[in-house]
């Protein structure tokens, strides 16, 4: 057990996040999403929804500050409505980042296409439809190694 980490973060997901570099993407998806179809590594966060998954991920991974929208969301097909789950995901990302986060909306099939380039797909138990998001990894502004 490691202290200071969100307990939702599995060893597999931590490994995948640590392997990512600036600009790499992590896709957080609901239970309806075909996670394995993208051909990317899949990390399972069973029992939690998309907002909790995004909060856990953003607790250890900075979001990109060099792009206008480091968070992308799948659009609802044929409906301009924005799902309530997205407001919760944005709130989780903003709380972790301490700043406003702009959302880029992506058409469903364009979302699937973009997900094929992700570093990892995070499959959640999110039951609400269209609870699918792409997070772009940023940089840690500074790091001073501890002195021995």
Return the active site residues. Answer: 22
How far is Cα of residue 46 from the mean position of the Cα atoms in its chain? Answer: 15
User: Could you give the CA distance from residue 119 to residue 47 in angstroms, rounded to a whole number?
Assistant: 22
Can you give the length of the chain in residues? 148
Contact 127, 31 (CB under 8 A): yes
- What b/e string do you get for 62-71 counting C-beta neighbours within 10 Å, with b at 16 or more? bbbeeeeebb
CA atoms within a 13 Å half-sphere pointing along the CA-CB vector of 127: 1
User: Could you give the CA distance from residue 11 to residue 148 in angstroms, rounded to a whole number?
Assistant: 27
What does the DSSP 8-state code read for residue 37? G
């Amino acid at each position: 057990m490691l202290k200071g980490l969100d307990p939702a973060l599995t060893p597999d997901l931590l490994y995948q996040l640590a392997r990512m570099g600036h600009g790499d993407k992590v896709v957080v998806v609901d239970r309806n999403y075909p996670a394995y179809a993208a051909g990317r590594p899949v990390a399972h966060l069973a029992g939690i929804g998309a907002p909790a998954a995004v909060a856990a991920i953003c607790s250890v991974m900075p979001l990109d500050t060099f792009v206008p929208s480091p968070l992308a969301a799948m659009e609802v097909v044929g409906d301009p409505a924005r799902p309530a789950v997205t407001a919760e995901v944005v709130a989780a990302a903003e709380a972790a980042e301490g700043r406003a986060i702009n959302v880029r909306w992506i058409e469903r099939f364009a979302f699937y296409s973009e997900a094929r380039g992700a570093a990892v797909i995070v499959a959640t138990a999110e039951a609400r439809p269209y609870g699918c998001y792409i997070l772009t990894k940023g940089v840690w502004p500074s790091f001073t190694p501890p002195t021995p």
